[in-house]
Structure formats: C-alpha cells, structure tokens
Chain A
Amino acid sequence: MVYPETGRAVVTLLERLGVRVGFPAEQSCCGQPFFNTGYRRATEPLVRRYAAAFRGYEHIVTPSASCAAMVREQYPRIAARAAAEGRDDGLTEAVAEVVPRTYELTEYLVDVLGVTDVGAHYPHTVTYHPTCHGLRALGLGDRPRRLLERVKGLELRELAGAEECCGFGGTFAVKNAAVSVAMGTDKARAAVATGAAALCAADNSCLAHIGGILTRRGAAVRPVHIAEILASTGPGTAGGPEGAAR
C-alpha cells in the first residue's frame, strides 16, 4: 500500500530472472495484524481470500518475511481451529494447497530459482537487519546475505546486535509505544554507527518503524527493502539511498 517501490522492484527483479509474474487483484492483507492482536476469527475471511486469490499459481512470493511466516505458521493453525469450531467449509484443504507454495522473496531466489547473483549493481554501503520473522520463524539464515554479497558495488557493513528485535511488533508499536520506540532507537543507533548509507531488511513493516525513528532523529541512513537493492542495476535506477524517506 505505502511502499509501491518494493512491489515494483519485486516484479522488475523476477521478470529480469525470467519469471512470469502475476498479481491477482483479489488479494489483500494476509491478516497478520488482526491475528497477532487476538482477532483470530476476524482473520478467517482474509485467509480464505488469500487461498482463493493464489489458487493455481505455481509459486507465491512475498517481499515480507512476517507475511510469509504468518501464512506458513499460522494459516494451518487458523484453519484447524476453524474446523474444530465447525467453520471449516473447505478452509483446511484450501490452506494446505497454498501454504507449501508460499515463499519469502530471498527464499524463493535462493531455494527455488537457485540464484545468488541476480545481476544487481548497487554502489553503496549497506547494513543488513535480519528481521525476527525472517531469522527465527522462517530460518532464512544467510540467504539474504549471500544475495547481497553478490551485488556489484555493494559494501556490506556489520550491524551490532543485528539479531535483536527492532521493536515494531505490529500493534505492539502503538500498544506499547514507549518500549517499542526504546527498542527502535537502539536499532537506529546501531544502524547509524555502521556509517552505511542504507539499512536493508526483508520486511517493510520493520523498516517503517526504524525509518520513522531515523528520520525523526535526522539520521542519514536510509531504510531500503532488499528487493529494491536486488532490482537495482546501477546509479540512477530506483531504490538508491538518495531516494525518498521511508
């Protein structure tokens, strides 16, 4: 919704790698904000919508580790609970059909397409924040790093305390704003300390939170989604750290 450049980058990147990309217009939010806030039943229509919208596609790719984790970890649980409460109506089957075909972007690139060099050129210093869902729920491991290391001109800087949560946490960011901002401020400080021009991650929600703190503090580090780096083919293409604030 708010970061069209990420979606454009994913399409550009995948088409460059020879993938035929579709975008079913019936798709919507995966429902994670509702589910994680305790509204499991309100999430069910979105689970059904996801399963219906993506039926028939070979692979389902999302540039968000937390959305991928939501689908993979929670959709089967939501379907099972719905069935136990007498509302299955084909949900279990529909979910089982889409869950194994859902991939986070870097997973899809490395595991399915089998590439680490995607032909990108991004002549900037970058530090990478492995988001919690990518790190712990999906187990992305070093996939994002392997992709970044093959980007021409890119210099990767180590982020101190990289594995610690940035404090976004969905509605946690507003329900526990004080703790959330305290965590995000530490993450923002660590990013600034790297001296990198861009802070990169595989999830725009975390980047919106850290980026909001960075711009409030007037910091020069710009949050950039990893898809935009991987889609970039040199100075002048979209996604450079000189772009708009996140």
Chain B
Amino acid sequence: MTGRPVPLGMPSFPRAAAVSTRDARLRANLKHATGTIRARRAAAVAELDDWRQLRAAAAAVKERTLRHLDHYLVRLEERVTAAGGTVHWAADAAEANRIVTELVRATGEREVVKVKSMVTQEIGLNEALAAAGVRAYETDLAELIVQLGDDLPSHLLVPAIHRNRDEIREIFRERMADWGRPAPEGLTDRPADLAEAARLHLREKFLRAKVAVSGANFMVAETGTMVVVESEGNGRMCLTLPETLISVVGIEKVVPTWRDLEIYLQVLPRSSTAERMNPYTSMWTGTTDGDGPRAFHLVLLDNGRTDTLADTVGRQALRCIRCSACLNVCPVYERAGGHAYGSPYSGPIGAILAPQLRGLAGPLEESLPFASSLCGACYEVCPVAIDIPEVLVHLRERVAEGGEATVRGTRAVVRPARRHALERRVVAGAAWALDRPELLRRGRRLAGRAARFAPRRLPGPGRAWTDGRDLPEIPEESFRDWWARTRAQESSQESSHEFSHEFSHEFSHEFSHEFSHEFSHEFSHEFSHESSKGGDR
C-alpha cells in the first residue's frame, strides 16, 4: 500500500468537519493564527515588484523539471554519490521505512533525532522505527508538541496550530518527563518560558544523538546539494552534530541548478512565514571530512508520485513547495481544522495531494476533492501557481464519473465511486430536465402556484440545506412568464393540468421508475445514516 497507514475508520471529510466546526476553542485558535499570518504574507509579497514574474518562473521551472524528472534524478544520484553520499530508491512507504530502519540498525543506535519533515509523516516513519525498537525524537517545537501530546499534525508548517499556549504548557508538564528532561517547576504559559522548556528538553538529545533523520525542501541536481529551510535552528543541530544523516525526500523536490533554487529561496519564506528570508538555510553536499556527519544516506521516495505525474491535470500538485499559504488563506481549513483532512497534508493542497498519492482508496480520499467551495483563494496565493480548484474539479470527475488513471505504474480505468451512484441519477435527471427549458418553464409555473404550500424544512437530502438556512420564497410569476407576457409575442397560456400530465408522462417514461426505486432504496438509507451522526450544528 502506498501512503501513510490510515487509522481504521477514518471518517470522510464532511463527517469529521461537522464535529470539528463545533469545537469553539479550535475555531478560535485557527482563526487567530491563520488570520495573523494571512495579513503578514500579503504584506511580505506586496513588497516585491516582480512577484508575478517570480511566481511564473517558480511554476515554470518546477513544471519543466517534472517533465524531465528521470534525467534530473539520475544526475542527482551521480553527484550525491560522487560527493560521498549513498542513494537509495524507495517505491513506496513500506520500502522507505525498511531502508531507514536497516540503516539505523546498522549504526547500532536505538534513537534518532528528527528534523521536521512532511514526507516522514506521509510514510509513518516514526511508527515504523518504534516497531523496530528505535525511538525517534521530533526536534521542531511544533512537532515536539504534537509528539508529546500523542497528537497528529494539523498544518504543514505549524503542526500544532490547533493548540494554544495554555494547552501547550499542560502537554509539556504532563508528558516531557516520559520522553526525557521534564518541564521546569512552575512552568508558565509565556511563549519565552515554553520555548526555554523545549530548548532544555531538546538540548540533551542533540548532544547525545548519533543518527539524524531529515527531509529536504530542495535537492540541487547539478551539484547533488540538499537544502533544508527552517526557523528554529533545531534542523541545523540535527544536520551537523550526528555521525550519520539519513534524508528521506520525495522525488519531486529536485531542481536542476542553483540559479533555479534562487527563485524558491525568495518565494518560499515570504509565502510561508511572511519573512523576507528564513532564519536558517542549511545546505550540504555528500560528506566532508572533519565537518558534519561522516555518513550520508539519501532515500528517494516515490510513493504515488510517478502515478500522479502521469496525470496531465493533476500533476501540477507535485510543484508544491509546502509553504502552507493555501492553508492559511482557506476558509474551509480555518473552520474544519487540519485533522478533518485525515492526512499530514491538510488544507487545499492536501485535498488534491492525498487523493492522488494514495489513490481514491476509500470514503475519506473520495470526499477530499469535495472539501472546498472552489473560492479560488488558494490558487491566488500559491507561489508555484497550482490551480487547485482545477485539480479539485478534475478529481471530482474521477470520483463521480470515473476515468483513466495510473495506479502503481499501470494505466487503469477507475470506476465511478459506488457512494455516488444515486447522485449520478439525480444529475442525469436534472441534466435531462435542464435540456428541456420549455418543460422547466411550465414546471416552474406549477411551483410558483404551489409556493405558499412550500415547507420551511425539507426532509431527506434537502435537510442539508434547511437545517442551517431558510429556503428562498418562490414568486408566483417566473421570469420566463414575465418575459412572455410583457416582451414576446408568443402565447403562454397552456393549462397547468395539460402540462403536469405531459411532464409526468414524459418524465416517468424516460427514467422515473428506475430513479424512484434507486432513490427510496439507497438515498434514504445513506442519508438517515449521515444525519444520525449528531446533526450538523
């Protein structure tokens, strides 16, 4: 299986979000955090006169590199090897975990320090190492909070964004002792005190560790150089102090040259932390005598990326540089929180990346492309111009209508999702009716006459609307009738009796039998199931 092992029973996005949107503390934490960074990013980007050109260049270089990925990866392997590193190729999560576990075992060590890395979350490396008796210590402050709290990351850049400082103090007080140096006596929730507690707790791990595991933000093919961009300096410690360094990196992270890298070192910090330049940029090429790790291993991870690359619309997701600007600006993310996405990749980019890397494997993955109002704010801020709404709709099509996709290197026809069978019939019915405007006009006339009998709350699927919103009132005269009465010559005086007969005849003839059967059977079942989840609000 590709992807991180998904906990059993991971709910679909709407179910998880229906619960998380009611969590007032989560909503307040996220609103505060994303609101602040949103405004700062906008200011940091507005400083640059050539932002549009930078963005276009950032997109173009990634796009070109992805087209020739095989070429650049082979060059990268040559250069890393020539510089004293060892390159390993991992087709999926299981293979990557096995390689890293064996490399750690070979050192004889039982613990590793970790630089914050999305890709090791994706493959579930910490869990795999734990199963092999190796303890992995997260050293990024937010990752530490997540790890100590037995929690899951909820944001690409700030994995503990869902926690406020009071919660963090409690986690430090209760859990630090289980992992090493306990929290100081009388710890307050002042940010400086919390940071000092983390510093003391982590320092002994940095000084003791013989093995480090990292990811990388970029890999420069022309020299075989790895690049890690960070804010706290924990990464620098991990990358320089231990004897052995193992970097697990997705194959899409390669850029051809240092000149290409220059673009990303400008757009990433501004998009991500709203900084002109990030505090620490670490770069290393293989190994160097007397300086830094004596052994360097690069594990190049596919895990669904080659399959994604085969999709001409979906592959733009592989341009992503994990800046998280799309999360910070997303109104859906702000209200649902990162955990509802059921993947380390949350927010708009997660909604297109996770279903592609994992495949549309289950109810969660099938629901993710629909976890968006398609407002387009994500596309607007994306520094590599990923048209996220376009990819969302593209993936929705694969869920709803099926289509061709590449699965583990083989072209396959994806069948439409079973859960959407009823919806397909509703759409077929609606499309059929909308292709007959005159019929619709007369149907509308009936509805206008019956408007005063219209219910305030709808049963079944309509509840999803009326539970939280009133229905519009339907005026008696439609626009078409008004137009016919005041502007056009044609008569519009057919009797509704005649029409309703004709309508029902035509409708039932074409598909209403099949439809009503399906409706009563499947939809009512599905919906009673949905609505029993505890109400939408």
Contacts and interface: CB of A to CB of B under 8 A. Distances in A.
- The answer to whether A and B belong to the same complex is yes
Interface of A: 1-8, 11, 21, 23, 25-29, 31, 33-43, 45-46, 49, 132-133, 136-137, 163-165, 167-185, 208-209, 211-213, 215-216, 244-246
Interface in B455-493: 461, 464-465, 467-475, 477-483, 487-488
A181 B331 CA distance: 12
Given A28-B434, A177-B465, A167 B331 contact: yes
Given A132-B373, A169-B373, A174-B461, A181 B401 contact: no
Nearest to A137: B376
Contacts of B331: 164-165, 167, 183
Contact of B373 (A5, A37, A38, A165): A165
B468 A181 contact: yes
Interface string B372-402: 1111110110000000000001011111110
Nearest to A177: B464
A136 B474 contact: no
Given A172-B370, A179-B336, A212-B470, A4 B477 contact: yes
B272 interface: no
A215 to B, nearest CB: 4
Given A49-B435, A177-B464, A38 B400 contact: yes
B332 interface: yes
A156 to B, nearest CB: 23
A181 B469 contact: yes
A42 B431 contact: yes
B79 interface: no
Interface of B: 13-14, 17-18, 21-22, 27, 331-332, 335-336, 369-377, 379-380, 393, 395-401, 423-424, 427-428, 430-431, 434-435, 437-438, 440-441, 444, 461, 464-465, 467-475, 477-483, 487-488, 536-537
Nearest to B400: A38
Q: Which of B373, B374, B427, B438 has the most CB of A within 10 A?
A: B373
Contacts of B18: 177-178
B473 A179 contact: no
Contacts of A180: 373, 468
Contact of A178 (B17, B437, B483): B17
A43 B461 CA distance: 22
Given A23-B483, A39-B427, A5 B401 contact: no
Contact of A176 (B332, B399, B478, B481): B332
A25 B464 contact: no
Contacts of A31: 431, 434
B478 to A, nearest CB: 5
Nearest to B31: A186
A168 to B, nearest CB: 7
